[in-house]
Structure 1
Amino acid sequence: MTSFTSHLTALQSSASRHPSAPAFQITTKSGCNGGSVAWVLISYHDFLRDVDLAAKYWSNTLSAIPTKAVVGMWLAGMDYSDVVHIYGISRAGYIPQLFSLRLPNPTVVAELLERARAQALIYDRTFESVVHEFPLRVHTACSLDDMSAFAPAYLPPLQDPVSKEELVFIFHTSGSTSGSPKLVRCNYVWLESMLSKSAQICIPQSPNRQDVCTWMGSMCHIAQSFMLMGAIQHGSCTIQPTRIDFSSEELADMISRCRLNRLHQFATFLTVHIRHARQNPKLLSVLRSLDTLLYSGLPLGSEEEEFGYSNSLPLRNLFGSTECGAMLISEGGSDRSARFLRPLNGVHYEFMPISPPTNASAHVSANSQLAEMVIMSDSPDCPDMALRQSSDGHFHTGDLFQEVSPGKYVSRGRNDDWIKSLNSLRCDTRSIEDNVRSTCGDLVQECVVVGTGRPSPTLFVEPATDMDHELLKREIVRRTRLFHSRRYLHERITSVDFIVVVKQKSLPRTATKGNIRRQAVEEAYKQELDEIYGVED
C-alpha cells in the first residue's frame, strides 16, 4: 500500500495519477433537473487546483501571521468549498482548528480558540454578527470566485514537517465536559496512522472501476475527514447528497445516476433505508448490489442487522472516535461471524478486563467478561498526551467489548454516562443530571437523561413538588438555560417538549444500590420517546 506523508501529498499523488477522474459529485444550487437532484463533477485535477488557489489566497490574506500558527475554521463542513478551505489552510502552512455549526455558542468557540492559541478565525457567514467581538483576526469563508479574483500567482512549495510531532490539525471532542469540548491535537504521527487506516477501509473491490461513495458528515468532525482521506488515496469519488439523512429515493438515484457503489453512513440513517427495503423488494435489490454498506457511530438495531445479514446485504460496521479515528472493522459477509469487530492493521490496542458496570448501555449476562478497549501509548493513533490517563500514559476509551473468539469482539456499550446521539456525537448525560440536581433540587427528587440514537437528549424527572407538570418543566428549562447555552446542539435540552415528568420512584432502578437504569428507561418509554422525536412506525 502506498504511504503518504499527509492528506496533501495524498491529494497531489492522486491528482497526478487520476487527473481527469471525478473527486466529487456536487449538488447544484438549483438541485433540480426534471424533478430530481442534479450533480456536477469535480475532477482530481480541479480539486488540487482549487486547494492551491485557496492556499494562495489565505497565504496572502494571512501574511501577517507566521506559518504553523493555528487558524480557527468555524464552518458547516458540508460543502465542497469547506473542503477546499480546510485543505487550503493546511497547504498554506497553517494548522486548522475545526469547529462545526453544531457548536453555535461564540463564547465557547472564543475560549477554545484562546486555549489553542489561534491567531485567526475563518467563519461561515452564519456567524457574521458575533465574530467581530473576537480578540483575533476574523475572515469570511469566501467563494472560489472571490479567491480567484484576489489570490496571488505564486504558491511556495509544499514543505515537509521538521518533526512528525508537529501539529497538523486540531479537532474537538464531540461532547462537552465542564461546559466545553476538549481540544484534540493531532500530529503527523497520528495523521499517517489515519491515512494508513483509512486506506485499509476504502480498498476498492474492483481495480478496474472507480469507487463512488457517499459524503458521511461534516468535515469539521473526524468521520468525514477520515473517510475522505481513504477515498483520495484510492482515487475514489465522493458524492455530496442534498442532506446527510438523505431519502431512500435519493439513495436509489445516486446508485443509478452517479454510479454509487459504497454507502458510508451513520447507523441511524442506514436503519431508515433497511426498514424501507423490508417493504420494497426493488430497494432491497439495489442495496444488495452495492459493494459495501458501511455504517458507524452506533450499532444497528437487532432487527435491522438480522434482516440485513439474512438478505445478503454487504454490511460492515466501523467503530471509531474523534480521538483515534476508525479503530475496529467487521469483516462483512453473510455468516454470523462476519459481524464481529477486529482491530485495524498497524495499531496496538489492549482489551483490559473490568467488573461488569451497573450503567453499561447493553445487556450482558452476569458471567460475561467485559473489557475496556485501551489505546496503548506506542500505537501511532494514540491521541495527544493531554487526553491520556496520567497513571499509565495510555488512552482509555471507556468503550466496552466482549471477546467472542480470538481477536474478534462485540461492542457492549460504555463504562461511563456518555451516550451517542443520532449523528453519533457524544453527550455527557451525567453532567446534565448533575446540573438539574444543583439548580432544581427543590423541584426534582430524581432524574435521568436518555436519548441514545436520538437528535438530542430527553430528561425524565421524578418531582419533589406538587407543582403543575407543565409549570415544572418550564421552570427547569428556565433554571438550566445558561448551562445548556454552552453545549453542542445535540447535547441541549432547551424545550419543555424534551422533559417528561413521571411519578416518584417509578423509573426502573438497580436492585442493589437503587440507581436509575438508563438503558431500561430507554426501553420502557420507547413509545413515548418515539412520539417526542416524531418517529414513525
Structure 2
Amino acid sequence: MSTYQSHLTVLEHSASSYPDAPVFRVPQSDPSTGQDWSSISYRQFKDDVEFTARYWRQVLKSDDVPEYSVIGLWVSGMTYRDVLNIYGLSRAGYVPQLFSIRLPNPEVVLELLTKADAKALIYDSQFQPMTSSFPLPVHLAIEKGDMTLFTYELPPIRSTSNPDKLVFIFHTSGSTSGSPKLVPCNSRWLDAMVAKANVVSTPRDPRRQDVSVWLGSMCHIGQTFMFLGSLQHGSCTIQPTKIAFSSEELIDMIHRCQLNRLNQFPTFLSVHLRNARQNPKLLGYLQRLDEIFFSGLPLPQEEEDWAHKNGLNMKNTFGSTECGAMLHAIGGKGRDALLLRPIPGTSYAFVPIDADTQSESGHNTSARMLELVILSSSGDCPHTSLRGNDGHFHTGDLFQEVMPGSYAFRGRNDDWIKSENSLRCDTKAIEDNVRATCGDLIEECIVVGTGRPSPALFVESAPGVDHEKLKRDIIRKTRQFHARRYLHEQITNPNLVIIVPSKSLPRTATKGNVRRKAVEDAYQAELDRIYTSLR
C-alpha cells in the first residue's frame, strides 16, 4: 500500500536531520538605517509549529469546530507568523483554506468559505472590520508570543495511505464569473509536490547550505512549493522586507545572509538585471550566485540575452496554482539553458492545437503550437472538479518543441494574461463587462497588462467624445464588477483607461479582431509611463 508524504512529514524529517541549521532569516530593522537578520533554526521552527498547533486546537475546540474541518486563513503569507499558522493548523488536524490579501472583498471570501464548508476563519488585522459579521467563528492571526500556552497532546506525524485525503484548499489566481475557483488539494497531489520540489530545489553544492529568498505569498502555490523544496534539503529561506526588494537589499542579503540562490518573478528580477548594467558591484554578486531562479512569466528576450552574455546562472520553471511546478530548465549559462522539460516522475502530453485556433490566438507562426495537458495518471493532476471531460487537466498553456523533449513557452490558448506576480487575469471577462455596461459609449475595447501590477483598458471612441468624461463613465459603470475581483485584476483608476481613435488598434487580417499582444507592443512606451506614474 502506498503512503504519501506531506509538508508535515518533511518538517519532521528535516527538524531531525538539520536541527541547528537556520530555516529562516527574518529582518530585524529598517534597511535605511542598517539591516540585520535573525535566524530561526529547524528545531525552533518545529517547536513553534507545534506550539501554534496546540493553541489553535484548543481555540477551535472551544468553538466546537470538529477535527479535520476546513479553516480559512486570510493573511499575507509573507511572514514567519503566517507560516506558523498554516503549518500549525495542519499539525492540529485541520485543513487550511488559504486566501490572498490581494482578494480584498469580504463578500467573495465568505462565498468561498461557504463553498468549502469552512468552519472558522483566521484573519489578518487589516480585515477585522470586514469579518465581524461573518456567520462563523473568526479569530485574529496573532504572533506566537501572544498565544496562550496549552498542553494539548498532538498525535504523531505519520504518512497517510489515503490518496484522497484533503490537505489544503488554494484558489485559482484569477476570477471566473466574479470569483476565484476552489483548488482542493489531496494527499496524492501533495506527495507529488514534495517529489517535484525536491528536484527543483536541489542545491548546486551539497557541501554547504543553500540560502534562497521568499518568492511570494505562502497563500499561493509558488512559495508553498519552493518552501517544500527548501525544507527537504535543509536550506534557508530569507524573508525580505517586501517582495519587490531593492538591489541594495539584495546585496545585503548576499553579504549578511550568504544568499546563493535568488528566487524571483521576472518583473522584479528585471529590476536587478537593469541595475546591474550600471553597477559592476551588483553584477559581480549576481555572477557569483549558484542560481538565479525565475518563474511565472518569460524574461524579455533582451534581458535573457544580456544575462547569458554576462555569465549569469539562469534557471526557469513553469507552473500553475493547480499543478505547482511542471516544467523546468536545465539552467546554467548556455543559450539553451532556459528551454523547459517536464519534471521527472510526471506524466504529461503536448497536444497540437488546430491552425484556426492558433491564428485567432494571435500566434502567427508556421511552427506547431502544443498545449500542455496534465494526464490523469500524473500524481500532480489536480482535483477532478478542475479536469476536462476526458479526465485530464488542460492547462491552456502553449509551447513549441524547440529541440526533442525541450520546449519554449508561447503564451496561452485563451484570453488570460499574467500579472507581475504571475497571477492570472481573465481579460475577456473585463472586456465583456465593458461592452455590456458601456456599449453605447464605445466602439471597441481590449484589455492588456502582461507582467504589470494590474490591467489597462484600451477603448476606441467615436469622434467628438470627451475622453476624460468617457474614462470616468467607464470606471463608474464597471465599479461593481471590479469590486469582486483580485487587486491584480481590477481597473479602478481612470489613468488605466486609454482612449484611442476609432479603428486605430491593430487587428487580425481574417476576422478583424483586435490583437492583444500587438496593442501591448505598439503602446509599450505609453504603458510604461502610466504605470510608472502610478507607483
Q: Structure 2-normalised TM-score?
A: 0.97
- The answer (yes or no) to whether the contact 2:463–2:501 under 8 Å persists in 1 is no
Q: Deviations over 1:163-202 (max 9, x none)?
A: 1211100000000000000000000100010000001011
- The answer (yes or no) to whether the contact 1:377–1:394 under 8 Å persists in 2 is yes
**Cα separation, partners in 2 of 1:364 and 1:465, compared to 1, 3 Å:** closer
Kindly state the Cα deviation for residue 428 of structure 1 after the two structures are TM-superposed. 0.3
Give the aligned length: 528
- The answer (yes or no) to whether the contact 2:9–2:159 under 8 Å persists in 1 is no
Which runs of 5 or more structure 1 residues have no equivalent in the other structure? none
- 1:364-403 map, 5 Å: 364-365=364-365, 367-390=366-389, 392-403=390-401
For the residues of structure 2 that align with 1:334 and 1:531, how far apart are their CA atoms?
33
Other-structure match for 1:506: 504
Q: Does 1:210 align with 2:213?
A: no
- The answer (yes or no) to whether the contact 1:359–1:416 under 8 Å persists in 2 is no
Q: Does 1:334 align with 2:371?
A: no
Kindly state the Cα deviation for residue 160 of structure 1 after the two structures are TM-superposed. 4.5
Letter in 2 for 1:243: K
- The answer (yes or no) to whether the contact 2:4–2:160 under 8 Å persists in 1 is no
Letter in 2 for 1:212: V
- The answer (yes or no) to whether the contact 2:7–2:228 under 8 Å persists in 1 is yes
Q: Secondary structure of 2:206's match?
A: coil
Kindly state the Cα deviation for residue 152 of structure 1 after the two structures are TM-superposed. 2.8
Other-structure match for 1:490: 488
Other-structure match for 1:44: 42
Q: Does 1:221 align with 2:230?
A: no
Q: Does 1:358 align with 2:356?
A: no
For the residues of structure 1 that align with 2:20 and 2:218, how far apart are their CA atoms?
24
Q: Deviations over 1:76-112 (max 9, x none)?
A: 0000000000000000010000001000000000000
Identity of aligned residues (%): 59
For the residues of structure 1 that align with 2:33 and 2:292, how far apart are their CA atoms?
27
Q: Secondary structure of 1:66's match?
A: coil
**Cα separation, partners in 2 of 1:372 and 1:201, compared to 1, 3 Å:** same
Other-structure match for 1:200: 199
Q: Deviations over 1:227-257 (max 9, x none)?
A: 0000000000000111101111111111111
Q: Deviations over 1:8-28 (max 9, x none)?
A: 110111111111100000012
Other-structure match for 2:18: 18
Q: Secondary structure of 2:532's match?
A: coil
Letter in 1 for 2:133: E
- The answer (yes or no) to whether the contact 2:58–2:152 under 8 Å persists in 1 is no
- 1:36-435 map, 5 Å: 36-63=34-61, 64-147=64-147, 149-158=148-157, 160-161=159-160, 163-356=162-355, 357-358=358-359, 360=361, 364-365=364-365, 367-390=366-389, 392-435=390-433
Q: Deviations over 1:482-523 (max 9, x none)?
A: 000000000000110100000000000011100000000000
- The answer (yes or no) to whether the contact 1:370–1:401 under 8 Å persists in 2 is yes
- The answer (yes or no) to whether the contact 1:443–1:465 under 8 Å persists in 2 is no
Letter in 2 for 1:84: L
For the residues of structure 1 that align with 2:194 and 2:159, how far apart are their CA atoms?
16
Q: Deviations over 1:52-91 (max 9, x none)?
A: 0010001101112111110000000000000000000000
Q: Secondary structure of 1:444's match?
A: coil
For the residues of structure 1 that align with 2:475 and 2:249, how far apart are their CA atoms?
38
- The answer (yes or no) to whether the contact 2:475–2:494 under 8 Å persists in 1 is yes
Kindly state the Cα deviation for residue 465 of structure 1 after the two structures are TM-superposed. 6.6
Which runs of 5 or more structure 2 residues have no equivalent in the other structure? none
Letter in 2 for 1:358: S
Other-structure match for 1:468: 466
Other-structure match for 1:9: 9
Kindly state the Cα deviation for residue 157 of structure 1 after the two structures are TM-superposed. 2.5
Letter in 2 for 1:104: P
- The answer (yes or no) to whether the contact 1:359–1:518 under 8 Å persists in 2 is no
Kindly state the Cα deviation for residue 284 of structure 1 after the two structures are TM-superposed. 1.1
Letter in 2 for 1:263: L
**Cα separation, partners in 2 of 1:359 and 1:245, compared to 1, 3 Å:** farther
Kindly state the Cα deviation for residue 204 of structure 1 after the two structures are TM-superposed. 1.0
For the residues of structure 1 that align with 2:152 and 2:327, how far apart are their CA atoms?
44
- The answer (yes or no) to whether the contact 2:290–2:313 under 8 Å persists in 1 is yes
For the residues of structure 2 that align with 1:388 and 1:155, how far apart are their CA atoms?
36
Kindly state the Cα deviation for residue 466 of structure 1 after the two structures are TM-superposed. 3.4
- The answer (yes or no) to whether the contact 1:360–1:412 under 8 Å persists in 2 is no
Q: Secondary structure of 1:41's match?
A: strand
- The answer (yes or no) to whether the contact 1:86–1:96 under 8 Å persists in 2 is yes
Letter in 1 for 2:339: F
Q: Structure 1-normalised TM-score?
A: 0.96
Kindly state the Cα deviation for residue 143 of structure 1 after the two structures are TM-superposed. 1.2
For the residues of structure 2 that align with 1:535 and 1:474, how far apart are their CA atoms?
18
Q: Secondary structure of 1:432's match?
A: helix
For the residues of structure 2 that align with 1:152 and 1:442, how far apart are their CA atoms?
66
CA RMSD in angstroms, aligned pairs only: 1.5
For the residues of structure 1 that align with 2:143 and 2:280, how far apart are their CA atoms?
43
For the residues of structure 2 that align with 1:408 and 1:350, how far apart are their CA atoms?
13
Q: Secondary structure of 2:254's match?
A: helix
Kindly state the Cα deviation for residue 364 of structure 1 after the two structures are TM-superposed. 4.9
- The answer (yes or no) to whether the contact 2:461–2:501 under 8 Å persists in 1 is yes
For the residues of structure 1 that align with 2:59 and 2:262, how far apart are their CA atoms?
38
